[in-house]
Amino acid sequence: MAFKHYTFFSLVFLATATILLASHAHGRVLTDDLCKNAQNKPLCSQIVNNVTNPHDALVSAIHKLVYESKMAAKLAHQQGKSNEMDVCIAKFEDSIDSLKKSLKSLEDRDLPGLNVNLVAAMNDYVACNDAFSESKVINPVDKIDAFLCEMAVNCIFLSGFVQ
């Protein structure tokens, strides 16, 4: 039980550290190495897909995460009814709302709001996994949760380049 709190803490710590480290790179990033310091470089490069403008790369990454979150919610609906899966469905839907808010914050140049909403989306994916951990039931969507968390971490990383 204590382990899940350490997992959550480590994800939040990682997101915060990524934001702080990336914020020091404002204006200094070369377009060729946008994903150079990303935690998961291959995933970052795949998501960015040759977009060189940090703002446009972040918008693209958030849109892809919204799409993947919608697909995760559909898959969760197909898994059968359980309290844990109901939590996951609700959290996937909450993450979509947070991601849409992050796009609005980005449009309004509200960088703190952008990061708050990106971290909130990441926390929603963690909460889905936590629902299964607490009940000691195997999570049938654990790989999807992990993938969505990785995508969210990449979005948080990319947000550090936006001015």
Give the pLDDT mean for 73-98: 94
Q: Does the structure show a pLDDT above 90 at 126?
A: yes
119 and 8 in contact (C-beta within 8 Å)? no
Q: Place 24 in a pLDDT band, splitting at 50, 70 and 90.
A: very low
How does pLDDT run across 31-78, given as a tens digit for each residue? 447 888 889 999 998 988 888 899 999 999 999 999 999 999 999 999
Least confident residue range of 14-23, 125-134, 154-163: 14-23
Supply the mean pLDDT for the chain.
84
Q: Place 88 in a pLDDT band, splitting at 50, 70 and 90.
A: very high
Residue 90 in tokens = 């609700």
10 and 148 in contact (C-beta within 8 Å)? no
Q: Burial code of 32-52, b = ≥16 C-beta within 10 A, e = fewer?
A: eebbeebbeeebbeebbeebe
Q: In this predicted model, which residue has the larger pLDDT, 47 or 27? A: 47
